[in-house]
Chain A
Amino acid sequence: MPLETARLLSDSTPSAVTVLRLENASKQYLTDGAPVPALENVDIDVNIGELVAIVGRSGCGKSTLLHLAGAMDLPTSGRVFIDGAETSRLSDAALTRLRRDKVGFIFQSFQLLPTLTVVENVELPLLLAGRPAPRKAALERLAWVELDGLQSRFPHQLSGGQQQRVAIARALVHGPKLLLADEPIGNLDTATGEVVLRLLRRIVDEQRVTVLMATHSTESTAIAGIIVRLRDGRIEEITRPSGR
């Protein structure tokens, strides 16, 4: 269903249920000294427990949007709020704390550290944040993604699907409110991809974690509650498929 406005919630300040808000957010990069727009005047509000798929061609700004949403980058203009905190107003240390507490990342190529075991990979965000009892939490998350028993293995001893489930466990271990997934099934075969997508859906349904997923695949959009279509850095269309 096309919307008249790109804003999903009409309040000017993020509400208690809004996990992510982009207000007229733009991002430009300098290439050979000339500004190149990557994202232009994007307005999005995402609430708790929503699964949003960002779709569009390569280079349309999907990854840039995820980086702004994950406080890995700051908008050139406009504002980005994560759980009510405006990223542009935060210091580097505060942004780091924000990511540690509120955001989890999943990547297309899993990005597990090859030198750490499965459980060590999962507990890494907790260790970096200095949280107590990281091992217990990591094992619980591994059990949740149905990988208990594999905790002592190294990433190269796992299949691609297992590696992505480890990455999901890692992204969830610190209890983030927002999970950002960049092409999470891009490196997986169809069957394994479906397992991962079902897992993402479970995260939203059972954990009430908001998922923002950049994707090319129709299988991924099928599980999304909201689909944001980007074109040349602008929101072309936002749809809310029925049944979600």
Chain B
Amino acid sequence: MLATFYRFFIRPLRREPLRTALTAFAVALGVAVVLAIELAGTAAAGSFRASLESLTGKADFEVTAVGGLAPETLTALSTLPAPLTVRARIEDYASVQRTRETVPLIGLDMVAEALDFETGNASEQTWREDNIWVGPRLAKRAGETIRLIVNDRTHTFTVAGILKETPGSGEAGNVVVMDLATADRMLARNARLDRILIDAPDTHPVEHWEALLTTALPRDAALARFGARTEENRKMLAAFRWNLRVLSYIALVVGAFLIYNTISVSVVRRRAEIGIFRALGATRFGVLAAFLGEAALFGLIGAAAGLFLGRAMAEGAVHLIGATVESLYVSSTPGRIELGWEAALFALAIGLGISLASAFAPALEASRVTPIEAMARGRAEYDARVHRTRDLLFAALLGIAAALASRMPPVAGKPLFGYLAALLLIAAGALAVPALVSALSMAGSTALRRLLGVEALLASRSLVASLRRSSVLVAALATAIAMMASVGIMVGSFRETVLVWMDSQLRADLYIRPAGPAAADRHPTMSPAVPGAIEQLPAVEAVDRFRALRISYRGLPVTLGAGETRIVERYSRTRFLDGDRAEILRRLPTGDFVIVSEPFANKHRVHRGDRLTLNLAGAPRTFEVLGVYYDYASERGYIVMDRSTLLKYLPDPAPSNLAVYLKPAADLESARAAIERATAGSSLLIMSNRTIRTEAIKIFDRTFAITYALEAVAVVVAVMGIAGALLALVIDRRRELGLLRFLGASQPQVRRLILCEAGLIGILANIAGLALGVVLSLILIYVINKQSFGWTIQFHWPVGVLLGALTVIYAATILAGLYPARIATRLNPIEVVHEE
């Protein structure tokens, strides 16, 4: 059996090594991309776990509160009549001045808690206020000094010891630890704690301890099982990772088309052999298994190669994903990429799975061949031709189903029906392709002949004659182009929307924040004296103090912000989904009112007029939502109140950001210099309006760089598939090509014929891909993006990007035809005509 399989399946593959390699490599690339995104996503997302989780072991519970916990809470918990271990935490971030690297800063009781040290020991230290302990990745030695920017101040610390890094410890490698008292002073916490960790013995169930702990906590404190914050981060990131994962599967889908094509070609070529096998007693199942075996071989080779390729790709992807996560979601340091057995099995499963699934239809067709049928040449092509109308009808039905699916709501926060709509549309597109290829090729063949000569006529007729094969190629490339075009339109529209939004939102001349890299969940503050000093400058007209805090709302991280509404009202053009802007902004400072960003509203299903409850100043407080405003700054979402309202509950005047509005006649550079002089001693980052916009767009473009990379891989897979398929086409049509030489065709004419075929496939795929891409972009913009992230994107045509991409793809398709064309010109016409 195996010997027969080798003779009839492996041996022919060895005779066409390039084509075999191209198909296997297409599968490998598809597998690699999926694996790379999975590995890189896990590495980037896996580092959220709190640094101390790995430094000091896990706890059972954690207590947090908006604006921090009063020290009395620690006392109350510690004095409970139970054998509990209670540990206090101050947690923030610092920037290493020399490298600009952001590192987690942890304040804890260095004497009470037993940390693992490589060198140095907390108990051995002579207590000094500037002592810190650092993770090994900071590459410091005990006794050395390090300059850190904490909030808006730069401090010099002495490294008292190096913490031990344990495998898989996430951020522990680059953490900075200091004593609680030092952290309190550096971060101006006024004795308030960020978290309290509690260990409880196993003597009672968890619920018992929860009930007991609640009695000791103030009403605004949140008690949660340990790891809740990590879980929140994971939940917040779910949509981002999910969408990235889905995008990574595109290359695999394109690869599936190519496996389908390869096995279809194999079936058509071996029809006579199948007939003989069947006549000699082979069962239908035997034939089915043999062709599936051939596909499995491609799957296995592809998966094995994809495993290593994916590991290498993950290295590049993890930086891009990590940067996006940091910019849009949460501070993170990518962990190590771990390629274990699970990943290997995953690669194997998707490689084999996609190969077998895509080969099933042609393999089944092969198993249904009767010995008599096998003698009838060209029947397979005839079948494809006569099914065109039926396929078109199916395509229409799938299109209707896609339209219906796109109207469905998200499932558990995921746009599952949106994905289904996209899949149905891709399937509909693939089914409509034979009719498109046939109609356009036939209708355009005369024009093509006039325009490009007889080679174009022959090429167009050849595409129609081998409709099944050419349709699959066009569908594969069209799918890749459609995804690229749709993502291109979506990203282009998003970019344009963000630009328009920035124009309305960013109206200040200068923006100021504490120095150090920014992240969506880091809100370092500056001294309250800073805005006061700036306001005194003659060039300055107004200063908007904005304070941001990371809070949790219904199990998801949110940013609570407070600004000066009267300044926003005067300068900004903030747009609301509905309601009167002037009225909303007039009412905002007058009581317990908030406005929320669109992503927040969508995520939590909050509307204008709803009421939100936030735990503030020792008790739950209720705020009325006056309006939902368009915002593209952060996916986690904002709840914004007036500064006076926040100060009423959290009397901490330190702002996180300042927006400085200059007088009309003021010179920007002079004003900046004056501000720098006035704030000397503070480590601040002062950015002009133009710089902050440039930075924002830079982050935007970096965010979508990986998306483009995924699309590019899908297109590469498709183009490789076309090269392989054209090679097969040349081999299968060698008699016809030889005949043309007999009839007076020159070698350049034969070459042009193959290039015309490649070009026609490219044009048809561009037409189909662009049309499908536009429809898919509507699904991406109005369904998938909206349900995943909650952003309203205005549709916009990124004409330049699309034209450029389509031209590059078209050129690549023609390049893919070069080698097959070379093979075609080298065929010996006498041999190929006479072997019939």
Interface residues of A (CB under 8 A from B): 63, 67, 70, 72-73, 92-93, 96, 99-100, 105, 107, 109, 111, 113-116, 120, 124-125, 127-130, 170, 174
Contacts and interface: CB of A to CB of B under 8 A. Distances in A.
Given A111-B833, A124-B454, A127-B454, A174 B744 contact: yes
Contacts of A114: 378, 465
Given A67-B830, A72-B829, A73-B830, A128 B740 contact: yes
Interface in B438-485: 449, 453-454, 457-458, 461-462, 464-465
Residue of A63, A100, A114 ringed by the most chain B CB atoms within 10 A: A114
B630 to A, nearest CB: 56
Contact of B834 (A63, A99, A115): A63
Nearest to A93: B746
Given A72-B829, A111-B833, A128 B745 contact: yes
B821 to A, nearest CB: 16
Interface in B731-761: 735-736, 739-747, 749
A233 B454 CA distance: 38
B751 to A, nearest CB: 13
17 contacts: A63-B834, A70-B742, A72-B742, A72-B830, A99-B744, A105-B742, A105-B743, A113-B736, A114-B465, A115-B462, A115-B464, A120-B457, A125-B744, A127-B453, A128-B454, A128-B744, A128-B745
A72 B833 CA distance: 12
B202 interface: no
Contacts of A116: 458, 461
Nearest to A107: B833
Residue of B449, B465, B744 ringed by the most chain A CB atoms within 10 A: B744
B741 A124 contact: no
B836 A109 contact: yes
Contact of B743 (A93, A115, A125, A130): A125
Contacts, number: 61
A3 B693 CA distance: 98
Which secondary structure dominates chain B's binding surface?
helix
Nearest to A174: B744
Interface in B406-451: 449
Contacts of A170: 743
Contact of B744 (A73, A96, A115): A96
A125 B836 CA distance: 22
Interface of B: 378, 449, 453-454, 457-458, 461-462, 464-465, 735-736, 739-747, 749, 829-830, 833-834, 836
Residue of B739, B743, B745, B834 ringed by the most chain A CB atoms within 10 A: B743
B808 to A, nearest CB: 31
A205 B745 CA distance: 29
Given A63-B834, A96-B741, 6 more contacts: A105-B742, A111-B739, A114-B378, A115-B462, A127-B457, A129-B744
Nearest to B749: A128
B741 A72 contact: yes
Contacts of B462: 115
A96 B454 contact: no
Contacts of A120: 457
B27 to A, nearest CB: 32
A92 B836 CA distance: 25
Contacts of B742: 70, 72, 99, 105, 111
A111 B834 CA distance: 11
B379 to A, nearest CB: 12
Contacts of A93: 746
B746 A96 contact: yes
A109 B326 CA distance: 70
A109 B377 CA distance: 15
Contacts of A67: 830
A109 B749 CA distance: 24
A83 to B, nearest CB: 15
Contacts of A115: 458, 461-462, 464-465
Contact of B739 (A70, A113, A127): A113
A93 B363 CA distance: 44
A92 B747 contact: yes
B384 to A, nearest CB: 14
A214 B805 CA distance: 55
A92 B826 CA distance: 12
A171 to B, nearest CB: 9
A184 to B, nearest CB: 14
A144 to B, nearest CB: 18
Contacts of A72: 741-742, 829-830
Contacts of B749: 128
B606 to A, nearest CB: 62
B688 to A, nearest CB: 65
A174 B830 CA distance: 21
A96 B464 CA distance: 28
Nearest to B745: A128
Contacts of A129: 744
A94 B171 CA distance: 74
Nearest to A130: B453
Contacts of B461: 113, 115-116
Which 5 A-B residue pairs are closest in the complex by CB-CB distance? A127-B454, A100-B744, A115-B461, A115-B465, A96-B746
Nearest to A63: B834
Nearest to A129: B744
Residue of B453, B454, B836 ringed by the most chain A CB atoms within 10 A: B454
A125 B745 CA distance: 8
Contacts of A111: 735, 739, 742, 833
Contacts of B746: 92-93, 96, 128
A160 to B, nearest CB: 15
A109 B739 CA distance: 12
A222 B611 CA distance: 106
Contacts of B747: 92, 96
